[in-house]
Amino acid sequence: MVINKHKDIIINKYSNYDEDNRLVRNRGHNLEYLTTMHYIQKFLKPGHKILEIGAATGRYSITLAKMGYDVTAVDLTPNHVEIMKAKKHNMENFKCMVADALDLGMFEDKTFDMVLNLGPMYHLFNKKDKQQAVNETIRVAKKGGICMFAYIPCASIMTGFGLLHNGAAHLNKLMDKAGRFKDVPDEVFNCFYIEDFKKLLAKTNTKYITNVATDGIAYVMRDYLEQLSEEGYQTYLKWHFITCERPDQQGYSAHLLYICKKK
């Protein structure tokens, strides 16, 4: 059994955080949800069986279950799982449980048509654990199954924490000569350069499909998004969906989504 040695830090973070409303709090946050759902639905087919790892309070999983898919959701934080259970009602096609992304031993190999890893990669602080989470995600996917990994680019830490929250001076202590930030568990979140994340998948039995800027610059421009008329916002959404796979839109996105297919 592989155990996340830092799980208490993660559980404490999310036990005192309103994750349930984060993705609907405003247009800037909601864009991450809309974009991720857009790509999930792009690859889903009727009858697909889905696993979401790090499902939080089930914003994606429960929506997908309501659409009729067979969905299993796991999360490291017990409070999140209790919230999902309360939302479940009588949906027989939805299951949820506490589990660690580093050990999905309760699931057999090649079980799911789609595996969503939409949070665990934010909170792993050494290369071994990161690779283990990637390998477990791929292991439980069927041949030809789609795997999606959400991760945070380094620029998101600087723009989000460094600029918006006046933490740039603190980040100077964590930054190397290439502008990467050290993996420090007490900081709760980690980050990647795009090329470094791709290296985690380079030797796996997967085929790269695309990399997506799920919220683009919207996270740091959310006040401006709120000022747009509905027509203006819909125009922005249209532009975002057209351009979110472009490399020049990805670096400053608050979140990125790596999508691949298991060979």
Instruction: Give the Cα separation of 254 and 160 in Å (integer).
Output: 8
Predicted local distance difference test score (pLDDT) of residue 19: 86
Distance of CA 111 to the CA centre of its chain: 21
For the chain, the DSSP string reads: ----TTHHHHHHHHHTS-HHHHTTSSHHHHHHHHHHHHHHHHH--TT-EEEEES-TT-HHHHHHHHTT-EEEEEES-HHHHHHHHHHHTT-TTEEEEE-BTTB-TTS-TT-EEEEEE-SGGGG--SHHHHHHHHHHHHHTEEEEEEEEEEE-BHHHIIIIIIIITS-HHHHTTTB-TTS-B---GGG----B-HHHHHHHHHTSSEEEEEEEESSGGGGTTHHHHHHS-HHHHHHHHHHHHHHTTSGGGTTT-S-EEEEEEE-
Q: What is the pTM (predicted TM-score) of this model? A: 0.96
Query: Is there a contact between 222 and 215 (Cβ–Cβ < 8 Å)?
Result: no
Tens of pLDDT, residues 52-80: 999 999 999 999 999 999 999 999 999 99
Q: Sketch the domain layout of the chain as residue ranges.
A: 7-262
Q: Is the pLDDT of residue 1 over 70?
A: no
Predicted local distance difference test score (pLDDT) of residue 251: 85
Query: Is there a contact between 115 and 61 (Cβ–Cβ < 8 Å)?
Result: no
18 falls in which pLDDT band (50, 70, 90)?
confident
Tens of pLDDT, residues 5-17: 889 999 999 988 8
Tens of pLDDT, residues 97-155: 999 999 999 999 999 999 999 999 999 999 999 999 999 999 999 999 999 999 999 99
Tens of pLDDT, residues 176-220: 999 999 999 999 999 999 999 999 999 999 999 999 999 998 988
Predicted local distance difference test score (pLDDT) of residue 164: 87
Q: Is the pLDDT of residue 3 over 90?
A: no
Which CATH code, of 3.20.20.80, 3.40.50.150, 2.60.40.10, 1.10.10.10, is assigned to 7-262? 3.40.50.150
Please enumerate in sequence order all residues whose Cβ is within 8 A of that of 65, keeping only pairs 6 or more positions apart, or say none: 71, 91, 93, 94
